[in-house]
Structure 1
Amino acid sequence: MVSDDRGQARALEAITAGMLLLASLAFALQVTAVTPLTGSTSSQHIENQQAKIAEGVLAAEAENGTVVPTLLAWNESGHFDGAEFGGFHGGGPPTAFGNVLDRTLRERNIAFNVNVFYVTSDGERNRRPLQLVDLGSPSDHASTATRSFTLYDDDVLHDIDESTERAEPTDTTLGEEDGNYFAPDIDGDSRLYNVVEVEVVVWRM
């Protein structure tokens, strides 16, 4: 009788252990299973990384003072100096800011557009951006980074020297230009000329 009880106990233990093993395997499979959200989580991580890179570029180049000279490189033909109609289409402009964009983004297979918004004469933010760089249509998973820059009446216009890839200052200030610049003077009674917002849109190639 004792022998039968021990046999039943051992059989019960074996069944219980088997059930626990099966439960553990089922749990492990659920934890490691690839779900529809796995890909989107990975994509979101990449988008966040790209956004941080773009934000870092804008912050660093704002500190280095390379963005405003590029914005001031505007010619009499009504577009950025050295650019085709609609901006630069082969990469960043041939300036220090453009070089950093190319090295930091394009060399990592990250496509980018650079849009410029400004305040209109009636005090509103223009709705249609001016494109500094146009490398195509952003994907559905594009990320953006923005930063504002203040322009003053005594800021000088620049010409781009493609041989040195630098924006060189001219003798003409924004306050002296003949109204050809893309942004208007929004406050004629002060040094303030306009406030522009630079938007970098990035996406994977």
Structure 2
Amino acid sequence: MTRTQSRGQAHTLEAVAAGMLLLASVLFALQVTAVTPLTGSTSSQHIENQQASLAEGLLATQVENGSIVPTILYWNESAGTFHGTSRDGYRNAGPPTAFGNVLNETFGDRNTAYDVNIYYVRSSGARERISLVDLGNPSDHASTASRMVTLYDDDRVLAANESALDTLSNTSFFAPDAAPDSRVYNVIEVEVVVWRM
């Protein structure tokens, strides 16, 4: 065997050994790296966009068909909470109203958690928040959608059986009358936060 041939074999052997070492390093790195449902990727961004669109569409249709205002008015004046809940809002599912049923049907069957927050303005101009549904702490990849609804002085607070009680202007509702000189009682922002479990 000539010196050139043995040198060529040595270089080939080195190249094969380097390739195997590189392949082993890549395989080790892939096994060490954990890929979870919360790992950032284009697919998780797509899911977030889908959830945001779903929440936006849900709020738009529910404002249009008028089911959000009765849910906001589902207020237990004596307890100072929504009917059948604590101060933290509903903790296991949406409220027992038409809007709550749509929330449960839309997100409950998709392994998607959601919170519903209600923002209102005090007469001083300060913005306050009350929780309607609190199913946990949103992840870093949560999506948010919100809509504004107007409450009027002659809107009526609802009993637990959803029958109409006294008007907002005659009750101790969570949101104050922000415009006492007009028919408008307050403008409420309803926010839905959704995230994958």
TM-score over 0.5 (shorter chain): yes
Deviation string, structure 1 residues 103-158 (Cα, Å, up to 9, x no partner)? 001111110000000011212322xx210000000011000000001001000001
In structure 2, what is the equivalent of residue 62 of structure 1?
63
In structure 2, what is the equivalent of residue 80 of structure 1?
82
Aligned 1:105-116 pairs, distance under 5 A: 105-116=107-118
Matched, 1:140 2:133: no
Deviation string, structure 1 residues 148-177 (Cα, Å, up to 9, x no partner)? 01001000001233xxxxxx2323000111
- For the residue of structure 1 that corresponds to 2:159, the secondary structure is strand
In structure 1, what is the equivalent of residue 102 of structure 2?
100
Q: Does structure 2 retain, via aligned residues, the 8 Å contact 1:95–1:160?
A: no
Aligned length: 159
Matched, 1:194 2:186: yes
2:170 to 158, 176, 181: 176
TM superposition shift of 1:187: 1.2
Instruction: In structure 1, list runs of 5 or more residues that go unmatched.
Output: 1-35, 162-167
In structure 2, what is the equivalent of residue 123 of structure 1?
125
Instruction: In structure 2, list runs of 5 or more residues that go unmatched.
Output: 1-34
In the alignment, the residues of structure 2 paired with residue 120 and residue 85 of structure 1 have an alpha-carbon distance, to the nearest angstrom, of 19
Q: Does structure 1 retain, via aligned residues, the 8 Å contact 2:159–2:165?
A: no
TM superposition shift of 1:39: 4.7
Percent identity among equivalent residues?
60
Aligned 1:153-164 pairs, distance under 5 A: 153-161=153-161
Q: Which amino acid aligns with 1:95?
A: T
Q: Does structure 2 retain, via aligned residues, the 8 Å contact 1:113–1:202?
A: yes
- For the residue of structure 2 that corresponds to 1:45, the secondary structure is helix
CA RMSD of aligned residues (A): 1.5
How high is the TM-score relative to the length of structure 1?
A: 0.74
- For the residue of structure 1 that corresponds to 2:170, the secondary structure is coil
